[in-house]
Amino acid sequence: MKPSRPPSEANAQSPETLVGLRTREPVRVAAGIPAIVQTMKHVMGQDRVVKGTRLLLKVNQANGFDCPGCAWPDPDGHRSIVEFCENGAKAAAEEGTAERVTPEFFREHSVAELSIVAINPLHETGLLAFKHPQELLHLLGKGTQLASLFLQVRINGDVPLLQGVAKELLEMRAIDRDFVDADTAGFAEYEANLEKMNWDDIVEESGISRDQIVAGLTGQENVIAAPAGDIVEGTLVKVVPTAVATQGK
């Protein structure tokens, strides 16, 4: 068992010193007028105030649709005109957005050109290949390969793995400073911590070799890594041609 490191020493886990945090007095009462304001922001944020409001009035209604944000049971009898919460309004607004990925986009950017790196402590079959159950040829064939590379990290090894990715990008000098300066906070401290990290510690704590980490980056011009199935709501680690940054919604 390795001795624990002193708090000041860099390691492959998140830095102990938190940067850019703001504190305030806790809110004493839930919902109320602030909830109404936040709900309307979700609708207005999609630039569809009228259509968005009509959409919300159908959430969890007998002649409408179930909230896409949760499975909270609906009343059998009378239902309120606003039968949803703030999260429900956000989920409905995002599902009802006018923004679309069009066929023209996929003609320009073929799915076959995408590279998917599956990161999971378990060898989860659903991340690796898929057979369409309603298409006979797919059932008879080998299926569609999903992941180009599978990295079987240790439990809780995803953080050191992603820090290894960031450290490799730093050493490759593949950092878009304009992007970092405009869209991140505390990057200088983050970069200093990465530079102090030891590759042996990263490999040991993630369970992934440096060669495998490099393989996940080699030949990729644009990569978005995110929790599977939760790209919209989850925290993203966004790696663009020469940039690395963390984002969250």
- Residue span of the structural domain in which 161 resides: 103-247
Number of domains composing the chain? 2
- Give residue 161's pLDDT band: very low, low, confident or very high (50, 70, 90): very high
pLDDT for 247: 37
Rounded to an integer, what distance in angstroms lies between the CA atom of residue 73 and that of residue 67?
10
Same domain? For 238 and 168 the reply is yes
Confirm whether 15 is domain-assigned.
no
Lowest mean pLDDT across 14-18, 186-190, 221-225: 221-225
Which residues, at least 6 apart from 154, have a Cβ–Cβ distance to it below 8 Å?
121, 205, 206, 207
Confirm whether 18 is domain-assigned.
no
C-beta of residue 60 within 8 angstroms of C-beta of residue 82: no
Which residues, at least 6 apart from 160, have a Cβ–Cβ distance to it below 8 Å?
12, 13, 201, 202, 205, 206
pLDDT digits (tens, 9 = 90+) for 203-236: 999 999 999 988 877 766 555 555 554 333 333 3
Bridge partners of 91, per DSSP, are none
pLDDT digits (tens, 9 = 90+) for 132-156: 777 777 777 777 777 788 889 999 8
